Structure 1
Amino acid sequence: MSGERRVALSTGIEMNVALAGPDDAPPVILMHGFPESHRTWREVAPRLGDRLRLVMPDLRGFGESDRPQDVEAYATDTLVADIFALADALGIDRFALVGHDWGGAIAWAAAIRANPRITRLGIVNSPHPLIFQKSLIEDEEQRGASQYMRAFRSPGMEAGIEAMGFDTFFDKSFARHVDMARISPSERQIYIDQWSRPGALTAMLNWYRSSHVVVPLPGITVDLPEWTLRAFPKIAIPVRVVWGLEDKALLPIQLQGIGEIGDDVDVIPLKGVGHFAPWEAPDQVAAALGPFLAAD
């Protein structure tokens, strides 16, 4: 990818951003997840950049962007505000949003708030917040698959990762989810170098610590949080969900009821593809998102 630059945001941080595509093409902001950076899109971007203006930030706490250390700096409202501040800084009025993993969580949150600046929503293996929270309470398999979230919230997690070494952490983060042969030694080293910087681990883990998602221990009965019982806003803009069905962290139960979360929702399931679909299946992800994002 080319065209990286640091952008000062009105939310008080500087964000590293990769840019691609024609300036006069429909703008799209693509947001990565944990524990990555804009490089999530490194194989997808060349397949979309001829027809879209791609804006691919390192989200706050990740990659080359600023790394605030307070948990409060990663509140959902702040993370959503970063996206609109980035659009403002680049002179973009209306735009589509695409998110994978945690980037998808912020994309969902922004779309649920119904800001008229968002034109379309693309989601890659990132659960709708209401469906996800209910599944963590009601489905033992999803609850078990999400226990890592409890570990990442632990105050001792940074020390644990440093003790195991970043190479081992890389393997634990990705080996169960993606063909490691697809990751070159140089690509691996970029991630490890970024994670090794002062405060990087805390910044990344603070995304989990700031989240209000309830992840109960296995085998116990827990009531649904009160917010899940209230009327939940429907999303009015078109939504396309692209989902690798072999995701071991976010199970196919996340697609149950997904058509009811908005007025115009479609799902593109990817057989034989896991959580890191932009890595594993860039052709399929680009084919699913490209026409959708370029539509009037």
Structure 2
Amino acid sequence: MDGSHEEEIVNGVRLHYVEAGEGPLVVLLHGFPDHWYGWRKQISALVEAGYRVVAPDMRGYNRSEKPPGVSAYRIDTLVEDVRALIDRCGTKRAHLVGHDWGGVVAWEVAARHPECIDRLVVMNAPHPGAYRRELRDLDSDQRRRSLYVLLFQLPLIPELLFRVGDQHLLEWLLREASTNPEAFDRKSLRRYKRACAGPGAMTAMLNYYRAAFRGTVRAAVPGWGDPGATTSDGLVSRPTLVLWGTDDAALSSTLTEGLDEWVSDVAVERIDGAGHWIQLDAPERVNDSLVEFFSRD
């Protein structure tokens, strides 16, 4: 993959990102516990299709700055990071693609700043309205799947668990969530372990969950935002494509149902046989869908 590694102060925080290609801007937002490298299968394909790609390490991840404190990772701040990054790239609009936590942020960027977004693609990341709907249903399978979020609320214990042995929990999470045996080979795992082992890295990454779900009620029944955050109505007006790996153990495919309640122009493409790491489990399918969607009239 050809591309340059850059660093910029964005929204008061130093962000590292990989940039490649020329043409309309595509911004790729990764999730947990990932960084720009999770888009390695997409960057070259998008460049070859005539796009300029920017894939940042979101604040707290890999080579980007890791500000202390839970409040530094509120959704308001994460949204402003993305809006400011698009502005720093010298363009008024971008195609925005998000996976997992990057998708959560992407949903809110599109809702709050539609003027910055050309087209939106979200991969295995629930719209906040759909997530609340599923968690309010006592019979919803998603309630059980979301229990791990409660563990992440605890101080220090999750960090210690991720540190045990040769970061065995991290390796297990990556491999178990993928249906592609080649997605996380030894070389890739070494990169992920280095990215998560730096000073303050794991705490910063977990603070995304803590900022979003802190508070007794919100920890028990996670909603959108935190007590100190400003939430939007979640309504998205930009053309949206949802790509969903149906073998995701943490996120039920029921989260893709009824999205037209919040998204005025939405298409859902479910990919059987792909897990949570859809962009690595089915890279060719994902790449074709991205290029086709971005070029659609």
Q: What TM-score do the two structures reach when normalised by structure 2?
A: 0.89
Q: 1:215: how far off?
A: 4.8
CA root-mean-square deviation: 2.4
| C-alpha distance in structure 2 between counterparts of 1:10 and 1:100, whole Å | 21
Following superposition, the deviation at residue 273 of structure 1 comes to: 0.7
- Supply the AA of the counterpart residue of 1:292: F
Task: Please identify, of 3-12 and 280-289, the stretch whose mean Cα deviation from structure 2 is larger.
Answer: 3-12
Q: Does the 8 Å contact 2:174/2:184 carry over to 1?
A: no
- Give the AA of the match of 2:165: G
| Distance apart, 1:216 and its partner CA | 2.8
Structure 2: gaps (5+ residues): none
Deviation of 1:196 after TM superposition, in Å, equals 1.0
Alignment of 1:1-296 (within 5 A): 1-22=1-22, 25-50=23-48, 51-138=50-137, 139-155=139-155, 156-162=157-163, 164-178=164-178, 179-212=180-213, 214-216=218-220, 232-295=233-296
Amino acid at match of 1:243: W
| 1:124 and 1:242 in contact (8 A); partners too | yes
- In the TM superposition, what whole-angstrom CA distance separates every residue of 1:181-235 from its partner, at most 9, and x where no partner exists? 4322111101111111110111100000000483537xxxx9999x9xx994531
Q: Deviations over 1:24-71 (max 9, x none)?
A: x11111100000001111012222212211110010011111111211
Asked whether the 8 Å contact 1:146–1:215 carries over to 2, the reply is no
Q: Shift of the alpha carbon at 1:16?
A: 0.8
Aligned length: 286
Flag structure 1 segments of 5+ consecutive residues without an equivalent: none
1:51-98, CA deviations, whole angstroms, 9 ceiling, x for partnerless residues? Answer: 211110010011111111211100111101111221222212211111
SS of the aligned residue for 1:158 comes to helix
Q: Secondary structure at the match of 1:97?
A: strand
| Structure 1 counterpart SS, 2:243 | strand
Identical pairs, percent: 34
Which AA in structure 2 matches 1:172?
Answer: W
TM-aligned CA distance change 1:286 to 1:151, over 3 Å: same
| Cα separation, 2, equivalents of 1:223 and 1:63 | 27
**Quick one: distance in 2 between partners of 1:231 and 1:16?**
28
Residue 268 of structure 1 deviates from its aligned partner by 0.9
Deviation sequence 1:91-138 (CA, Å, 0-9, x none): 122111110000000000111114312111101111000111221221
Q: Is the 8 A contact 2:6 2:17 kept in 1?
A: yes
Q: 2:97, 2:172 → 1: CA distance?
A: 26
Give 1:294 deviation, angstroms.
3.1
Indicate conservation of the 8 Å contact 1:114/1:236, yes or no: no
Q: For residues 142-175 of structure 1, what are the alpha-carbon distances to aligned partners after superposition, in whole Å with 9 as ceiling and x for unaligned?
A: 111111111112102112222x234312232123
Equivalent-residue separation in structure 2 for 1:5 and 1:204 (angstroms)? 21
Equivalent-residue separation in structure 1 for 2:118 and 2:47 (angstroms): 18
Normalising by the residue count of structure 1, what TM-score does the alignment of the two structures yield? Answer: 0.90
